[in-house]
Amino acid sequence: MHPRWLIAASAVLALTAAPAGAPSTAAAAGPVSAPQGTVALTLGSTAGLTGVLPGDAARTNPPSAGTRLILEARVDCRKVRCVALTFDDGPYRYTGKLLNTLEAAHVHATFFLVGAKVSKRPGLVRRMIADGHEVGNHTWSHLELTRLSLAGQRSQVTRGARAIRAAHVPRPRLLRPPFGSFNRLTRSLGVPLINWDVDTLDWKYQNSASVIRRALRDVKRGSIILMHDTLPTTVSAVPQLIRKLRAKGFVLVTVSQLLGSTKPGHVYFNGRR
């Protein structure tokens, strides 16, 4: 169960009706008791699917006849083409701009935070949660875990989680090991490990067009896309990337929405099930 995602039907409808750029009402709504993985809210007829949302998104990708309008916060990824955008290594100076972009587009993403950076920008971390994003652990100081003892790995993970809790947000459930690097000791730490199947190599090329090109080339149903909100070139690429992914029929969700229930010690590269 991930009660964060269970929002009242009235709030869902309010969000659907909200004008472009209006703040999401979803985060302010209290949780209701509905099972995790509920069926997507469906408006209109049942033919093709484009992941269209109200406001900006609807104008950019107007629904054709027979297109379903889907509220991505309630989507069932066993039934639609979900993709998770993930942003590592923040929070950083560009993260606020990214949050503005995601809010305007009504997209929920997943941020894997470096614990040592959280105390410098705790307000951004609280905003992530308030805006409906998922916050995961990217360790305390981004060391390569496979070079550490079990105690060293545990310390990196525990300190990272503690730093996130210190920003007064929920304890992260998911771990992204730095560099995607893990071993059997990492798997014994008792948390789900979240890697990726689409690497934008944004840190290497630092070019917005390259981020978009690589993501669109490699994306599939269930993909987890790796990016970094520490790079202005990546943050600048996100509005167009969102539009193009939606135009291809993908629905953008958090990692927990994509995966559903997760197992401690299991390594996830995508959400195809």
Chain residues binding Ni ion by CB under 5 A are 88-89, 178
Number of continuous H segments (helices) and E segments (strands) in the chain: 11, 11
**Could you give the C-alpha distances from 2 to 117, 171, 256, 257, in angstroms and in order?**
26, 13, 8, 9
Residues in the chain: 273
The whole-angstrom separation of Cα 243 and Cα 99 is: 16
Q: CB of residue 230 vs Ni ion: minimum separation in angstroms?
A: 9
| Residue with smaller CB distance to Ni ion, 68 or 142 | 142
- Contact present, 226 and 85 (Cβ < 8 Å): no
- Among 106, 108, 142, 228, the active-site one is 228
| Residue with smaller CB distance to Ni ion, 107 or 226 | 226
The whole-angstrom separation of Cα 252 and Cα 238 is: 12
Q: Is 88 a catalytic residue?
A: yes
Q: CB of residue 138 vs Ni ion: minimum separation in angstroms?
A: 6
Q: What are phi and psi of 120, to 5 degrees?
A: -80, -25
User: Structure tokens of 202?
Assistant: 């944004």
The whole-angstrom separation of Cα 14 and Cα 11 is: 5
**Could you give the C-alpha distances from 57 to 19, 48, 96, 210, in angstroms and in order?**
11, 17, 20, 23
Q: Is 138 a catalytic residue?
A: no
| Residue with smaller CB distance to Ni ion, 89 or 131 | 89
| Residue with smaller CB distance to Ni ion, 4 or 176 | 176
User: Structure tokens of 105?
Assistant: 């587009």
The whole-angstrom separation of Cα 38 and Cα 6 is: 9
Residue nearest to Ni ion (CB): 88
CA 143 to chain centre: 23
| Residue with smaller CB distance to Ni ion, 5 or 111 | 111
Q: CB of residue 203 vs Ni ion: minimum separation in angstroms?
A: 9
Question: Strand locations in 182-260, DSSP E?
Answer: 193-194, 198-199, 224-228, 251-253
User: Structure tokens of 34?
Assistant: 């509905």
Q: Which residues are catalytic?
A: 88, 228
